[in-house]
Amino acid sequence: MIFALAAYIILQFAIALWASRFVNSEADYFVAGRRFGLLMVGVSVFATWFGAETVMGASGAIAEEGLAGGRADPFGYTICLIGMALFLAYKLRDAGVMTFPDFFEQRFGARAEVTAAILTIPTSIIWASAQLLAMGQIISETAAISLNIALFGGAVIIIAYTTIGGLLGDAMTDMVQGAVMMVGLTILLITILVSGDFSFGQITPEQFDLFTYDEEGTRESWLSALDTWMVPILGSLVAQEAISRFLGAKTASIARKGCFLAAGLYLVFGSIPLMIGLLGHSAGFEAGSTDSYLPELAKQYLSPVMYILLMGAIISAILSTVDTTLLAVSAIAQRNLIDPIARDLPEPRKLMLGRSLTLLAGLMAYAIAASGETIKGLVEIASSFGSAGIVVALLIGLHSGYGREKAALAALFAGAVLSFLGYGMPAWFVGLFDEAAAETMPLWTQGFEGSFVISVLAALGAYIGVAELEKRGIVTGGQKESPAAS
């Protein structure tokens, strides 16, 4: 079985190597020379978004929590893709940028650009670490080796694979990976339905509840539920790993239509893990962990050949997500942190630098994945940390001329601080070294309910407040106006 998976990965390497022949510049490496048509954009965005959280994390969460476990996948992220189509894709592609912090520089100035880049890079690295952890679990399950060894092997494979071909290579392999995912998940659903052990008639009404309950049966608050919805919908709206795909479109119109296509694909095929989670729970199927729910069920019901196909599908999802995420980190680091102070680098040096930054991002993601967090936990952190202020400033900046540099900086700062405190990052960081000390820290350092929603509101309030001061001349600086809004 491991040999079949190895052959599949080698095929992906071969495609990436072939595509690398067309990568000769920074634009080729990060936005594929803007060569993408509608199908390439749609499938590529879908394959990038359809990661380990959807295939592995969601089915286990839904089996445990019912439909409430699917608020992020597939519903929240589908809505997010529609939001990208409606509010981001056309205007960002029309602005001719390579990263969304590029637009911050155009609209608000260099300080806003750098701040947005610094806030985004950790988020993308955490997202990549979740995918690496998922691949490690698959290799561990398939090859019967320890998770640590599997995680290291998976990291080496993905980092090497990503560094080679750039976005063009990734998008070309996405066409293969997307097809494998669709076929593999469809076969699994059909197989468990014809087995006779699962039936939609066995699903109970309680499984359709969109709220979660604690051990005493107390329902979560409306604020907590709203926060759970807003993390994937708004928190992921500014994910550079997806944005880079539609920035590679030939035209702004193709970029927008491609996101709508990706949303449709995501809803259809993201519903398969959802159905498997509901059916598995109603039939009494139990797995060793939430993250291993779908692979364990597949191993029990699929033939060895079909199981290999499904593992190939999951690996496809992971490869597609991680390679784009690592590229997103290197693109932002290079375009928005290094290029402004090294503008005269020749294209070959820029290309070499981009590949080196991709390698460094992969090593950092591996280190986080090895820390022991779950896939779902890592994705929740990645989907929301630091993004509140970016969402506010980017949406207002794209669609109006209201507010300038100081307003954007205020939103970015307010969103980051509230996210940092809301997710209990001070206590979490101390807990890495001393768990007992972390437990005795003040409550305000250990997080609070509705942290993302509160972070967005704080960022919005900060933006509006400072924008009004700018409007009255009390605060000055950053006179740029959005080319999209003018």
Paired strand residues for 219: 213
Residue tagged 């290309």 (tokens): 351
pLDDT at residue 379, rounded to an integer: 53
**Residue (of 381, 370, 366, 318) closest to 72 by Cα position:** 381
The radius of gyration computed from the CA coordinates of the chain, to the nearest angstrom, equals: 22
CA 370/CA 391 separation, integer angstroms? 30
| Alpha carbon 49 to its chain's center | 6
> Contact at 8 Å (CB) between 185 and 313?
yes
φ/ψ region of 286 (left if φ > 0, alpha if ψ in -120 to 50, else beta) reads: beta
Say what the pLDDT of residue 171 is: 82
Which two structure tokens, joined as six digits, stand for 369?
């994945």
Q: Check residue 105 and give its pLDDT.
A: 95
pLDDT of the residue at 53: 63
What is the model's pLDDT at position 380? 52
How many beta carbons lie within 10 A of that of residue 251, not counting itself? 15
**Which pLDDT score, from 0 to 100, does residue 94 have?**
96
CA distance 350 to 356: 10
Torsions phi, psi of 49, nearest 5?
-75, -30
pLDDT at 252: 97
With tokens 């709220």, the residue in question is 211
The pLDDT averaged over each successive group of 10 residues in the chain (486 residues) is 70 79 84 91 87 73 87 90 97 95 95 94 80 76 79 81 79 79 87 89 86 81 91 89 92 97 94 90 82 83 81 72 85 92 82 89 85 55 72 96 95 92 79 79 85 94 96 74 46
Burial class of residue 441 in the structure, from the number of CB atoms within 10 Å of its CB (0-12 exposed, 13-18 middle, 19+ buried): middle
Which one, of 53, 127, 143, 129, lies nearest residue 370 by Cα? 129
Place of tokens 């209990």: 424
CA atoms within 13 A on the CB side of 422: 26
Q: What is the pTM of this model?
A: 0.86
> Which amino acid, residue 57?
G
Question: Tokens standing for 237?
Answer: 């709206």
Strand partners, 249: 36
